[in-house]
Amino acid sequence: MTFREFGFDDRIVEAISYMGFEKATPIQEQAIPQILKGRDLIACAQTGTGKTAAFMLPLLHQLTVEPHDGTSTLVVVPTRELAIQIDQQIQGFAYFIPVSSTAIYGGGSGSEWETQKKALISADVIIATPGKLISHINMGNVKFNKVRHLILDEADRMLDMGFYDDIMKIIAALPKNRQTLMFSATMPAKMRQLAKKNLSDPFEVTLAISKPSEKVQQAAYLVNDQHKIKLINELIRDKPNFDSIIVFSSTKKAVNEIVRGLSNKEYLVEGISSDLEQNKREEILNRFRAKKTRVVVATDVLSRGIDIKDISLVINYNVPGDGEDYVHRIGRTARADASGMAITLINEDEMYKFAGIEKLIGNEVNKIQLPPHIGVSPEWNTSRSTRGNRSRGPVRPGQKEVRKTGDNRPKAEGQEKKIFKKRRRPPGASKPKTE
Ligand code: AMP
């Protein structure tokens, strides 16, 4: 189905074609007609399916049909990265129409707070993380009386991060007469409860829950920790045409150690975790998008929702905490119209956990033995290991192994900063930049 067939305003169709989208993705085909009809919606869709366009295009079209005074649309998201990402997509979609958008997230100085206050009042579309938005609501800075559309994106992630009460508080500040759209990769019971309380007769779209895109070629190595760095170095060197590689680590501490282990003179390797200042994180992401940096090592703060195009290879240094994290991590590759590869490194203690993930995704991942010059693979044995949730840093040969349990969830918004942006870039830039 083409975008013209949805009946969108010509200026929106033109912007979409500048962005290189030719056909609607399945989530777009299913969700857009319902959103245009004004229905509430629950959509179970993984990242990379085109869900942002699925909710934003019909709402932008509505704004061309019925011009609006004040904020019409509020998008609530779990992390600052996702807020920026959505804002950038909106800037592209809305390039030829007079609609402004603003991403608001935590942190920042007093003067920034004032800028945010103004932005909250004037922007047509606000994309915000819950904590920061609540602060503004508490200070009486928001004027949400004209909001017609609420989108809860990555809703399961927000619940995981403990935002249930904040979301309820935000909803209480909105008009009752509105359209509510909820997007989530999974549908746990608490999500159902949230939907039941806040959505009215929602249309449901379910796209292959918790299954990675078929375009991702998945493989796993059975490898103990002391051989992981050597293996990754070899994997990366053997694949010269893979120019954008993400290595996901479960802990922040391990990120630096992995970066050190992978650094070399031939290409740039950089690390990113929630310990870094926001502007530093954005600089690193920009270099990665521009392909100046070949390898980024990241905690899973990057694994959800953030759109970096053309990732050729995702390497899981550890087996992710659960199946959903796995799907999200490998969802970094094979975005809407590309294919990619995901390799997971499994040590003895993680086999049981990985078997659980395979069950969830409904397929067995090919397990590869270590090349003998690197070391000996542990034997695949899921009954032996039951201590699935470990997260460990790299252990070099001869180094005593210290085990740690790490919380790899993105931190809530304590250290967040905000941005306030108007449209300022033409659509079609194939690699959106953070600004
Ligand atoms: P999302 O699931 O919203 O994170 O989108 C994932 C990626 O797919 C983004 O890079 C979008 O720009 C891209 N995308 C969304 N819709 C389409 C489409 N219909 N055709 C091609 N790419 C798309």
Answer yes or no: is 398 within a domain. no
pLDDT higher than 90, residue 312: no
Least confident range from 171-185, 227-241, 265-279: namely 265-279
| Same domain as 314, residue 378 | yes
Would you state the structure tokens that stand for residue 425, as one six-digit string? 């870039």
CB of residue 46 inside a 6 A radius of ligand 1: no
Q: Residue 198: helix, strand or coil by DSSP?
A: helix
- What pLDDT is attached to residue 331? 73
Answer yes or no: is 13 within a domain. yes
CB of residue 50 inside a 6 A radius of ligand 1: yes
Sign of dihedral through CA atoms 80, 82, 87, 88? positive
Q: How far is CA 230 from the centre of its chain?
A: 29
pLDDT higher than 60, residue 313: yes
CB of residue 92 inside a 6 A radius of ligand 1: no
Domain final position from 161, 183, 207: 207
Residue 176 burial (CB < 10 Å; 0-12/13-18/19+)? exposed
Would you state the structure tokens that stand for residue 122, as one six-digit string? 């004037």
Answer yes or no: is 174 within a domain. yes
Cα–Cα distance measured from residue 320 to residue 346, given in angstroms and rounded to the nearest whole number: 10
pLDDT higher than 50, residue 386: no
| Same domain as 189, residue 137 | yes
CB of residue 333 inside a 6 A radius of ligand 1: no
- What pLDDT is attached to residue 363? 83
Cα–Cα distance measured from residue 324 to residue 125, given in angstroms and rounded to the nearest whole number: 29
| Same domain as 171, residue 275 | no
**Looking at the DSSP assignment, which residues form a beta bridge with residue 220?**
344, 367
pLDDT higher than 70, residue 387: no
Give the length of the chain.
435
* CA 50 – ligand 1 centroid, Å: 4
CB of residue 416 inside a 6 A radius of ligand 1: no
Closest CA to 285 of 21, 59, 88: 88
- What pLDDT is attached to residue 9? 96
Contact 416, 107 (CB under 8 A): yes
Give the mean model confidence (pLDDT) for residues 185-208: 87
| Same domain as 94, residue 232 | no
Element (H, E) at 75: strand 73-76
| Same domain as 142, residue 90 | yes
Starting at the earlier edge strand, list the strands of the sheet with 340-346.
Answer: 268-272, 293-298, 245-248, 313-316, 340-346, 216-222, 366-368
| Same domain as 282, residue 176 | no
Query: Of 203-207, 231-235, 251-255, 424-428, which has the strongest mean pLDDT?
Result: 231-235
Predicted confidence band of residue 358 (pLDDT cuts 50, 70, 90): confident
CB of residue 309 inside a 6 A radius of ligand 1: yes
Answer yes or no: is 160 within a domain. yes
Answer yes or no: is 179 within a domain. yes
Sign of dihedral through CA atoms 51, 52, 53, 54? positive
- What pLDDT is attached to residue 180? 98
| Same domain as 379, residue 231 | yes
CB of residue 190 inside a 6 A radius of ligand 1: no
- What pLDDT is attached to residue 348? 92
Amino acid at 345: L
Least confident range from 157-166, 189-198, 236-245, 399-408: namely 399-408
Give the mean model confidence (pLDDT) for residues 298-324: 76
Give the mean model confidence (pLDDT) for residues 222-237: 95
Contact 183, 51 (CB under 8 A): yes
**Domain coverage including residue 79:** 3-207
Query: Of 15-19, 210-214, 270-274, which has the strongest mean pLDDT?
Result: 15-19
Contact 181, 150 (CB under 8 A): yes
CB of residue 118 inside a 6 A radius of ligand 1: no
Domain final position from 157, 176, 207: 207
Q: 281-295 pLDDT, tens per residue?
A: 889 988 998 999 999
| Same domain as 203, residue 236 | no
Instruction: Provide the 10 A C-beta neighbour count for residue 356.
Output: 15
Answer yes or no: is 31 within a domain. yes
* CA 381 – ligand 1 centroid, Å: 39
**Over the range 238-276, which residues count as b (16 or more CB within 10 Å of their CB) and which as e?**
eeeebebbbbbbbbbbbbbbbbebbeeeebebbbbbbbb
Cα–Cα distance measured from residue 255 to residue 274, given in angstroms and rounded to the nearest whole number: 11
Say what the pTM is.
0.60
Q: 106-157 pLDDT, tens per residue?
A: 766 667 777 778 888 889 999 999 999 999 999 888 889 999 999 999 998 8
- What pLDDT is attached to residue 109? 62
- What pLDDT is attached to residue 122? 83
* CA 38 – ligand 1 centroid, Å: 23
| CATH value at residue 297 | 3.40.50.300
| Same domain as 280, residue 237 | yes
CB of residue 52 inside a 6 A radius of ligand 1: yes
Q: 397-426 pLDDT, tens per residue?
A: 333 333 322 333 233 333 332 333 333 444
Q: Which residue's C-alpha comes closest to atom 11 of ligand 1?
A: 50
Phi-psi region for residue 379, left (φ > 0), alpha (ψ -120 to 50) or beta? beta
Would you state the structure tokens that stand for residue 8, as one six-digit string? 């969108």
Would you state the structure tokens that stand for residue 176, as one six-digit string? 């009752």
- For residue 49, the ligand 1 atom closest to its alpha carbon is 2
Would you state the structure tokens that stand for residue 281, as one six-digit string? 């994180």
Q: Residue 314: helix, strand or coil by DSSP?
A: strand
pLDDT, averaged across the chain: 82
pLDDT higher than 60, residue 176: yes
Would you give the DSSP letter of residue 23? Answer: B
Least confident range from 241-250, 316-325, 416-425: namely 416-425
- What pLDDT is attached to residue 388? 37
Out of 5, 12, 25, mutate this one to test ligand 1's pocket (max ligand atoms within 8 Å of CB): namely 25
When divided into structural domains, the chain yields a total of 2
| Same domain as 372, residue 353 | yes
Q: 158-171 pLDDT, tens per residue?
A: 998 899 999 999 99
Q: Which residues contact 238 (CB under 8 A, 6 or more apart)?
A: none
CB of residue 47 inside a 6 A radius of ligand 1: yes
- What pLDDT is attached to residue 296? 94
Would you state the structure tokens that stand for residue 207, as one six-digit string? 């796209």
CB < 8 Å & 24+ apart, contacts of 373-380: 374/223, 374/227, 374/230, 374/231, 374/234, 375/223, 375/224, 375/226, 375/227, 375/230, 377/221, 377/222, 377/223, 378/222, 378/223, 378/224, 378/347, 378/348, 378/351, 379/222, 380/222, 380/351
Domain final position from 388, 410, 425: 388
Answer yes or no: is 429 within a domain. no
- What pLDDT is attached to residue 107? 62
Answer yes or no: is 419 within a domain. no
CB of residue 337 inside a 6 A radius of ligand 1: yes
- What pLDDT is attached to residue 47? 67
| Same domain as 226, residue 162 | no
| Same domain as 220, residue 203 | no
Q: 20-74 pLDDT, tens per residue?
A: 888 898 899 999 999 999 999 999 886 667 899 999 999 999 999 988 888 999 9
% of the chain residues with pLDDT over 90:
51
Higher pLDDT, 12 or 116: 12
- What pLDDT is attached to residue 425? 42
Instruction: Provide the 10 A C-beta neighbour count for residue 372.
Output: 8
Give the mean model confidence (pLDDT) for residues 319-344: 76
Out of 90, 335, 425, mutate this one to test ligand 1's pocket (max ligand atoms within 8 Å of CB): namely 335
